[in-house]
Amino acid sequence: MRSSKSRSRSKPNRNSSRNVGNIVNRVFDSSGPEGKVRGTPQQIIDKYNQLARDAQLGNDRVAAENFQQHAEHYLRMLSQAQREQEARREQQERENRERQAERDRERAARQEREAAQPARKQDAVATDPGSSEQPDVVDHGEEGDSGLVETPEAKAEKPKRASKPRKPRARKPADDSSDAPKDPPPAPEAPEAAE
C-alpha cells in the first residue's frame, strides 16, 4: 500500500492564479446532476439557468436549486476572472502612460539640448582662430617682388586694351499699320584711332 507522503510529492496543483485569466474563454466539462455540460463559463451558466427554469416548471424545487448552485459556481469563477483581467488591463494602461510620460520628458530634454547646441557652436566659432578675421597680406619687399616665381607666360603677357563701350541693340522694325512714331536709326560711331 502506498503512503500518503508519495502523493504529496507529485506535481504541484496547476490551478494557480496565472491560469485565471484564461477562464473567460476556456472550455470546461461540468459534471452536473443530469450529466456533463461542456462550454465556456458563460455557456455553462446559461445552460444551468435554463435547466433550473425547466426544473421549476416541472415543480422539482430540489433539482432547480441544484442547477442554480452549479450556475452560481461558474458565475463566481467568471466574475473573478473578469475582475483580474480588468485589473491587469488597468495596470498595463498605467505602465503605458508612465512610459509615454518618460518618453515625452526625454524628448523635451533632447529638444532643449538641441536648442542650446547652436549657441555653443556660435561660442566655439567665436573662439576658433580660423574663423576670426584675418589680417591683410603684408608686402615685405619691393613693389615688383611679390615672392612668386615668374613664368614665361607672365613675361609675354601684353597690356590689355581698353574695352569698347557696347552699342545699344537695334530694335526690330514695327508694322507699318501702327500709328506709333518710329525711332530714327542710331547714328554710326566714329572709328577709334589706332594705337
Q: What CA–CA distance (Å, rounded) separates 137 from 110?
A: 45
pLDDT for the residue numbered 120: 62
Q: What letter would DSSP give residue 41?
A: H
- What's this model's pTM, rounded to 2 decimal places? 0.43
Q: What CA–CA distance (Å, rounded) separates 189 from 6?
A: 129
User: How close are the terminal C-alpha atoms of the chain, in Å?
Assistant: 139
pLDDT of the chain, 195 residues: tens digit per residue: 455 555 555 555 555 445 545 788 888 888 888 888 889 999 999 999 999 999 999 999 999 999 999 999 999 999 999 999 999 999 999 999 999 999 999 999 999 888 887 666 666 555 666 666 666 666 555 555 566 777 777 666 666 666 777 777 777 766 555 555 556 666 666 566 554
Q: How many residues does the chain have?
A: 195
Q: Where are the domains of the chain?
A: 21-122
Span 115-168, pLDDT tens digits: 887 666 666 555 666 666 666 666 555 555 566 777 777 666 666 666 777 777
**Helices 61-127 + 41-57 axis angle, to 10:** 160
